[in-house]
A and B are shown apart, each in its own frame.
Chain A
């Protein structure tokens, strides 16, 4: 898939995210829009789900299901009509990922801080069964890094030199309350992760080309797990949502919906 096609997909996914949250009147638009380009590239260029041994993606910041489901709809894992049922009773599209309802979901997440540890287990398991052809991708949020369990897993990943474990930090710098680093400072995050002995990269996480390039670059790193600080914009693509903590969670009224879709077209 070329870059132009991927860019078009991001556009489609952003609209689907807004559609889904508008219809449900609830959801997490800000973080869904900030991490969608990463999910787009991973699912469309990296993740092989065709065999028994497959790549894994643990969406540790589980509240961004609108982003996940928009990709799943495109991949045919869920029907287009299901988008209208997000967060409603009898739907497969839960507020947070549920693998019992959608088999392509690797693990149930959403209680923050747990996903990276799940990734450590899966990466170790792949080593044990000599599956050297597939990776374990984990997407975590910045507010989520306040959880102590993340740092437990960072230790473990480096201890076992899990070169098949790739973490994307969706660093949009806003959590529910506001500035994530004012809530609890993560900086100097680059140095901190590096001191845990991970290979570290920093990119613009809303730039498709940079995401593609960094993935290619880290393939050659064979002695360490890999941590990508993806600088993103919360609410990316919708002007009134961008960098506005108010849009961490919530629904859109008719006017907001119209404006958002117009901007995304």
Chain B
């Protein structure tokens, strides 16, 4: 792994510019946060295809329906909390119409540390995945983001792409592939624990995996990538092989990654323990992002703790 830490957010504009070269019918929608989500770089290169709708998230979200109706592929880029929570009924209605649009949510989970609880999107996976027709992707670095957006543009329907704002390790090279409904086994040392993470918690999951390795445990590290549809086949296979699963997410543990995996385990009929690392039914607070994550339950130490609880039968 290249352990250089980079914010995926910084690449959103570049990825959109690259996509526009192949897909002439892309339009990017903004609600006055282009410089924060880097869609301003797209606006500079393709000003005609960039639409500023003002700090009016609900209207911005509904406007994508109009663009899609006319044959464009609108991409609404904003903070995760706005692009799912603020606009939830507008998003739901757009999905009900099954328009071909994409939303990109930056600043997911606690990635917007200093802004505090109001801006911490700890519910966006839950809010998006529960809507029919919706596909949900969680890329973990800028290279995976590019592959993920490319994949999203192959889908004729709504896709939510959740992009880290905090700095994260670069886990993929430029030519990485991304397939809907397929998870990625990043490391496979053995069948003790399967550590499964969503993109914005890769650092904590990876470091937890390394600490457990030093302690002599042989685990698997899984990048889930596609929250919906989920890789049922892999989860099913894992659940019959490993001693337990630890899910790691920059999200409320209810309704998010842990929720998804638990639902799959129930369906698999394999009796396996699933423990969660993430935020447990609480609002958070302002602070340095790494401090907030640590205080509210997302850390490599928690990954180790939960894995050891399973191994020791606690």
Measured CB to CB, the residues of A under 8 A from B are 52, 56, 58, 98-100, 106-109, 111, 113-115, 117-126, 128-129, 131, 136, 148-149, 152-153, 155-156, 159
Contacts and interface: CB of A to CB of B under 8 A. Distances in A.
Q: Using C-beta atoms within 8 Å of the partner chain, give the interface range for chain B.
A: 20 to 34
Given A98-B96, A152-B58, 5 more contacts: A119-B66, A122-B69, A124-B51, A125-B66, A159-B54
Contact of B59 (A106, A125, A129, A156): A156
Contacts of A99: 97
Contact of A117 (B27, B48, B63, B97): B63
B97 A107 contact: yes
A23 B68 CA distance: 35
B207 to A, nearest CB: 43
Interface of B: 27, 48-49, 51, 53-54, 56, 58-72, 74, 89-90, 92-93, 96-98
B90 A126 contact: no
Q: Chain A contact residues: over half helix, strand or loop, or mixed?
A: helix
Contact of A124 (B58, B61, B63): B63
Given A108-B93, A111-B89, A156-B53, A124 B67 contact: yes
B70 A129 contact: yes
Nearest to B90: A114
Nearest to A122: B66
Contacts of B68: 121
A148 B58 CA distance: 9
A149 B66 contact: no
Contact of A121 (B54, B67, B92): B67
Contacts of A106: 69
Nearest to B72: A125
B56 A156 contact: yes
Interface centre among B27, B56, B64, B70 (most CB of A within 10 A): B70
A39 B70 CA distance: 21
B42 to A, nearest CB: 15
Given A152-B58, A156-B53, A156-B54, A118 B96 contact: no
Nearest to A98: B96
B69 A114 contact: no
A229 to B, nearest CB: 21
A132 to B, nearest CB: 13
A59 to B, nearest CB: 13
A39 to B, nearest CB: 19
A121 B63 contact: yes
A71 B66 CA distance: 23
A128 B63 contact: no
Nearest to A110: B93
Nearest to B60: A117
A84 to B, nearest CB: 25
A56 B90 CA distance: 19
Contact of A108 (B59, B66, B74, B96): B96
Contact of B27 (A58, A128, A152): A128
